[in-house]
Chains A and B, each alone.
Chain A
Amino acid sequence: MITEQETHPLDDLLRVDRIPHIWCPTCGLGIVLNSFLTAVRESGIPREDIVVVSGIGCTGRAAGYVNLDSFHTTHGRALPFATGLKLGNPRLKVVVISGDGDLVAIGGNHLIHTARRNMDMTVVCVNNFNYAMTGGQFGPTTPKGARLTTAPYGSYEHPFNIPFLVDSCGATYVARWTVLHIRQLTESIKEALVHPGFSFIEVISPCPTVYGRRNQLGSGLDIVKYYRDNSIVRNDIDTRECEIEYQGKIIVGRFVQKRKPTYLETMNEYLRQSVGEGFVPYQGPMDDGD
């Protein structure tokens, strides 16, 4: 008798008892999580070494669904929490998966300073152009003209160009993909996991329930079809050129990849020079069971 093992290949990296997740049908967040877990699997990094940190919001739930060490932090504070985690144990691979509202709006100040310090961590920022979990308020990434609950006549604010923001602050790996560029996104996350320094990946994701419905963009399938027809892959361009306009072209690709000393490398080098030869570089906690 043939018995089949009916478990998904990623089930061991998921908290299966929490599945099905709360994300709406045709939301892109499940695809981002799938892509991240595939990247973790293919990168070969031991799962004990990876920590996932999330903030609040729809994307903030991601930390609760991965069967890795994970933390669900307060609103906007995923990055300072992750910074502390990395400084506490520099051998960990710290990954922040959070939304645009959490990272760029309330956590915006932390984002620019984490990028400025070139903290060695990977940030996956899922951008769905609004605060979806609290009912669809407009935020700092909402394109000009998009209608949302708190912008019934359309948003008139100029939105953030997130790759340009983090690039100008000092991030050393910046990429942007839509949820339909799954293989490129997976490759990008794999690259970012082994990249020393602040690596930032923006993922454009459909929000059919709030953003799509308010703007009458159709179902999630229609929004993703629009991504397929309107995204242009342009690697290594100047990040000033990748602004997102309402229903305009979406420029995706890997924009920045460079090597710069990380925060800990800079700190150890600077203190070695100032303190002298007696300085012992900080390597994290010792393995003697303390």
Chain B
Amino acid sequence: MKLWRKPLDSDEKKPPQGRVHILIERCKGCGFCITYCPKDVLESSPDFNRRGYHPPVVVHPERCVNCGLCTIICAEFAIWTTPVEEPQPQPQT
């Protein structure tokens, strides 16, 4: 998403960061998560899983904002995201 101006509080606040987990052997390669990821984090892997499907692979891990759409759109319960906690800045004494 492109912003037409820089948010005033962009120094203090950052978008949340997520991490994608994939259970490769559960995937049936339907492609819902790849198509509907709003941040285009995923791509179809050239490799096969044990059942012959192409599971998704994370190509832009830094873009994930932990929106959880892939978690709820996955028909196979094979993908989910968890929040990544940013290290808190230490207060200066």
Interface residues of A (CB under 8 A from B): 4, 6, 8-11, 14, 19-21, 23-31, 33-35, 38, 180, 182-183, 186, 220-221, 224
For A24, A27, A30, A224, the residue with the greatest tally of chain B CB atoms inside 10 Å of its CB is A30
Q: Are A6 and B72 in contact (CB under 8 A)?
A: no
Which chain A positions have C-beta within 8 A of B26? 19-20
A183 is contacted by which of B53, B72, B76 (Cβ under 8 Å)? B72
What 1/0 flags go to B71-85 for Cβ under 8 Å of A? 111111110100000
Q: Are B78 and A8 in contact (CB under 8 A)?
A: yes
A–B Cβ pairs within 8 angstroms, 18 of them: A8-B78, A11-B77, A14-B77, A19-B26, A20-B26, A21-B76, A25-B29, A25-B53, A28-B75, A30-B74, A31-B32, A31-B72, A33-B75, A34-B72, A180-B36, A182-B72, A182-B73, A221-B32
Chain B interface size range: 20 to 34
Q: Which residue of A lies closest to B28 (CB)?
A: A25
Q: Which residue of A lies closest to B26 (CB)?
A: A20
What 1/0 flags go to B5-40 for Cβ under 8 Å of A? 000000000000000010100101111100110000
Further pairs besides A8-B80, A26-B75: 8, Cβ < 8 Å: A11-B77, A20-B51, A25-B29, A25-B30, A26-B31, A31-B32, A34-B73, A221-B31
Q: Please name the 8 residue pairs, one residue from A and one from B, whose CB atoms are nearest each other, closest first.
A: A30-B75, A25-B28, A26-B30, A25-B30, A8-B77, A182-B72, A31-B75, A9-B80
The minimal Cβ–Cβ distance linking B85 to chain A, given in whole angstroms, is 14
Q: Are A29 and B72 in contact (CB under 8 A)?
A: no
B32 is contacted by which of A8, A26, A35, A38 (Cβ under 8 Å)? A26
Which chain B positions have C-beta within 8 A of A9? 71, 80
Question: How far, in angstroms, from A221 to B69 measured CA to CA in the complex?
Answer: 16
What 1/0 flags go to B42-70 for Cβ under 8 Å of A? 00000000010100000000000000010
Which chain B positions have C-beta within 8 A of A4? 21
Q: A28-B75, A34-B77 are in contact. Are A6 and B31 (CB under 8 A)?
A: no
Question: How far, in angstroms, from A4 to B53 measured CA to CA in the complex?
Answer: 24
Which chain B positions have C-beta within 8 A of A6? 21, 23
Question: How far, in angstroms, from A9 to B73 measured CA to CA in the complex?
Answer: 14
The minimal Cβ–Cβ distance linking B21 to chain A, given in whole angstroms, is 7
The minimal Cβ–Cβ distance linking A152 to chain B, given in whole angstroms, is 28
Question: How far, in angstroms, from A38 to B76 measured CA to CA in the complex?
Answer: 14
Which chain B positions have C-beta within 8 A of A20? 26, 28, 51, 76
Which chain B positions have C-beta within 8 A of A10? 77
Question: How far, in angstroms, from A183 to B69 measured CA to CA in the complex?
Answer: 9
Q: Which residue of B lies closest to A26 (CB)?
A: B30
Question: How far, in angstroms, from A134 to B51 measured CA to CA in the complex?
Answer: 24
Question: How far, in angstroms, from A26 to B31 measured CA to CA in the complex?
Answer: 8
Q: Which residue of B lies closest to A228 (CB)?
A: B36
Q: Are B32 and A224 in contact (CB under 8 A)?
A: yes
Q: Are B72 and A8 in contact (CB under 8 A)?
A: no
Q: Which residue of A lies closest to B53 (CB)?
A: A25
The minimal Cβ–Cβ distance linking A237 to chain B, given in whole angstroms, is 26
Question: How far, in angstroms, from A241 to B80 measured CA to CA in the complex?
Answer: 38
